[in-house]
Amino acid sequence: MDAAALGDPFMDRDYYGDRSAEDTAKLFGSNFAQAVTGLKPGQWQGPVESGYGWHVVFVDTSVPSRVPAFEKIEPEIKAEWIEEQRAQGKRKAYEAMRARYQVVTPEKPKN
């Protein structure tokens, strides 16, 4: 059954498959995400309230969350760490440079 074809069109898209609870919360709000996470797959259910209104929702499948193996996410973690170190270095260099100067603004002329 093509559930997306049976539903009414939504402003962005009709199908939001393969979304984590966090992604769903960003799109529709945490209460909606929490409610949808608890729905039984394979049938229309609702209404469920979001920031956009009330929805009747069809959940295709539900996959339990998991913690990925470190080896799979290690390159991403390293890249984010390196970027954070670079940002901290730039911030420290800017603060050191700014500390050498005194910013003086002119006074307003008196009328």
44 and 85 share one domain: no
- Residue 30 within a domain: yes
The string of pLDDT tens digits covering residues 2-61 is: 655 666 666 667 777 778 888 989 989 999 999 998 899 998 998 999 988 888 888 888
The string of pLDDT tens digits covering residues 79-90 is: 999 999 999 999
8 and 38 share one domain: yes
Would you give the DSSP letter of residue 8? P
Contact between residue 41 and residue 57 where contact means Cβ atoms under 8 Å apart: no
- Residue 86 within a domain: yes
What is the rounded CA–CA span in Å between residue 101 and residue 28? 47
9 and 54 share one domain: yes
- Residue 29 within a domain: yes
The string of pLDDT tens digits covering residues 90-105 is: 999 999 999 999 888 8
What pLDDT shows up at residue 8? 65
Number of domains in the chain: 2
75 and 36 share one domain: no
29 and 49 share one domain: yes
Domain that holds residue 20: 3-58
Task: Name every residue whose Cβ is closer than 8 Å to that of residue 103 and which is 6 or more positions away in sequence.
Answer: none
The string of pLDDT tens digits covering residues 16-28 is: 777 888 898 998 9
13 and 30 share one domain: yes
- Residue 53 within a domain: yes
- Residue 97 within a domain: yes
